């Protein structure tokens, strides 16, 4: 009866953010009921505690009437981070940590301390999707300041009121934190979440050999997108090696996907790494990533192929004739009618994946992609879209390619460091 009453209370809330606040307060007052409610109603409630509602919740986090469930680490904690981890966990062994520094939250940018909401939302997936005991799950925010002027000027902002920590001081703080995680002495999985491009790649490269860890934006997004692509190919009947994939957005998520696709192609063919990478093309804020450009960051350089430069997405689509279009740009509406119609001109079943989160940042909607391709699109989005009733009366349900599904698989993976099954 309590679960039914709680679910009805959620449904009576007048906005998605109100639902979020209600559930956060329920998590404080009755944790067993909160988790039971989530696990038994995941399809309905995950969009509330996770994407897309968590985006708005993070933006307004400091103003919301909620208690912090995670651990906040600031520069003033240097020298005492291990003790803070132990105090937070108590006698319980910590098995999963989701950590962010709040610099690139979803498609919303630098939210600073307010990024704690994303760690708290992501950590729930380990329980809801994989059945991990919430008592062993720790959300963490490294509050190292923010460059968001709106927050710095906002008296209600609860984070550190200074520009972002950079350079050696930042690295020293992260290093002490990572050392403390290892010194816990437990089999702990660490998930890097929503770090900015300037730190995400290098921190992953530095700590992967030392700690059971992964970057969700780089590797989690890559895994679920590759899975979505392979599923789409069941519809089109084509082989992975024959695809041409064009990405709008060349950040950590986009290039991470391309790297994994290339590895998958190599695994089933005798193609070289260079040839496999040439199946993936990128358009960033300055135009098509190609060999003639001299302004490319290191993570874009493997995808700088010898093709003519194009300044916009429509021209790139017409030039490259991709079989798959992936949006990781956080530019709502970037997949225009002309772009999607061009995809349909040379693809019998065009594959269109607007993956940017939250829903307000998606490059196009399901209804738009469906309408502009006369129902031929093979579609998946990062955030959920409603089902669509077509003129023929059929109901079509859009697929969702979201990292939430990665949490389920992680539980059953064998750690390469201690050979234990994560559970």
Sequence-distant (≥ 6) Cβ neighbours of residue 239 within 8 angstroms: 233
Segments making up each domain of the chain, as ranges: 1-49, 68-211, 219-402
Single out the catalytic residue among 122, 126, 170, 282: 122
* Mean pLDDT, residues 257-284: 95
Bind-site residues for a divalent metal cation: 193-194, 217
Quick one: pLDDT at residue 418? 43
**207-233 pLDDT tens trace:** 999 999 999 888 888 999 999 999 999
* Mean pLDDT, residues 89-111: 88
Query: Given a cut of 70, is residue 71 above it in pLDDT?
Result: yes
Quick one: pLDDT at residue 401? 83
Query: Given a cut of 80, is residue 195 above it in pLDDT?
Result: yes
Looking at the domain that runs over 68-211, which CATH code has it been given? 3.40.50.10380
Single out the catalytic residue among 50, 126, 282, 366: 50
Query: Given a cut of 60, is residue 145 above it in pLDDT?
Result: yes
Quick one: pLDDT at residue 409? 52
Q: Active site includes 20?
A: no
Fold of 219-402: Rossmann fold (3.40.50)
Query: Given a cut of 90, is residue 421 above it in pLDDT?
Result: no
Quick one: pLDDT at residue 403? 74
Bind-site residues for (S)-malate: 104, 357, 402
Query: Given a cut of 70, is residue 413 above it in pLDDT?
Result: no
Q: Active site includes 50?
A: yes
Quick one: pLDDT at residue 289? 97
- Which is more confident, 286 or 358? 286
Domain 1-49: CATH class, spelled out: mainly alpha
3-class secondary structure, 138? strand
Cis status, amide bond into 358, omega within 30 of 0: yes
Sequence-distant (≥ 6) Cβ neighbours of residue 222 within 8 angstroms: 253, 256, 257, 259, 260, 261
DSSP bridge partners of 379: 352
Least confident stretch, 68-72, 179-183, 351-355, 415-419: 415-419
Same fold: 1-49 with 68-211: no
Work out the pLDDT band at 247, boundaries 50, 70, 90.
very high
Bind-site residues: 104, 193-194, 217, 357, 402
**309-322 pLDDT tens trace:** 999 999 999 999 99
């Amino acid at each position: 009866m309590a679960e039914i009453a709680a679910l009805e209370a959620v449904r009576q809330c007048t906005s998605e953010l109100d639902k979020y606040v209600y559930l956060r307060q329920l998590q404080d007052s009755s944790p067993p009921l909160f988790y039971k409610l989530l696990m038994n109603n995941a399809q309905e409630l995950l969009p509330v505690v996770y994407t897309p509602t968590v985006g708005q919740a993070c933006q307004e986090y400091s103003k919301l009437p909620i208690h912090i469930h995670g651990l906040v680490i600031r520069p003033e904690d240097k020298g005492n981070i291990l003790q803070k981890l132990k105090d937070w966990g108590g006698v319980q062994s910590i098995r999963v940590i989701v950590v962010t520094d709040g610099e690139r939250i979803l498609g919303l940018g630098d939210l600073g301390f307010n990024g704690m909401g994303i760690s708290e939302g992501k950590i729930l997936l380990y329980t809801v999707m994989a059945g991990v005991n919430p008592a062993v799950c720790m959300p963490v925010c490294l509050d190292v300041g923010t460059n968001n002027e709106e927050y710095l000027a906002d008296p209600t902002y609860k984070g550190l009121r200074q520009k972002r920590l950079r350079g050696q001081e930042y690295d020293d703080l992260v290093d002490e934190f990572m050392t403390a995680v290892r010194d816990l002495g437990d089999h702990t999985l660490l998930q890097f979440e929503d770090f900015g491009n300037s730190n995400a790649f290098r921190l992953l490269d530095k700590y992967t050999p030392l700690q059971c860890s992964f970057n969700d934006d780089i590797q989690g997004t890559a895994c679920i997108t590759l899975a979505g692509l392979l599923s789409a190919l069941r519809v089109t009947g084509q082989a992975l090696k024959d695809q041409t994939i064009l990405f709008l957005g060349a950040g950590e998520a986009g290039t991470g996907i391309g790297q994994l696709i290339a590895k998958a192609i190599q695994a089933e063919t005798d193609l070289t790494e260079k040839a496999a990478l040439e199946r993936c093309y990128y358009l960033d804020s300055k135009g098509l990533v190609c060999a003639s450009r001299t302004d490319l960051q290191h993570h874009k350089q493997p995808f700088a192929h010898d093709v003519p430069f194009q300044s916009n997405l429509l021209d790139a689509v017409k030039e490259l004739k991709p079989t798959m279009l992936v949006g990781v740009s956080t530019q709502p509406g970037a997949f225009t009618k002309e772009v999607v119609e061009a995809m349909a001109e040379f693809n019998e079943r065009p594959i269109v994946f607007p993956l940017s989160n939250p829903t307000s940042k998606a490059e196009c909607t399901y209804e738009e992609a469906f309408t502009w391709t006369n129902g031929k699109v093979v579609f998946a989005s990062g955030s959920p879209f409603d089902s669509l009733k077509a003129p023929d009366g059929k109901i079509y349900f859009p697929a969702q390619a979201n990292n939430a599904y990665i949490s389920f698989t992680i539980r059953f993976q064998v750690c390469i460091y201690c050979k234990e099954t994560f559970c």
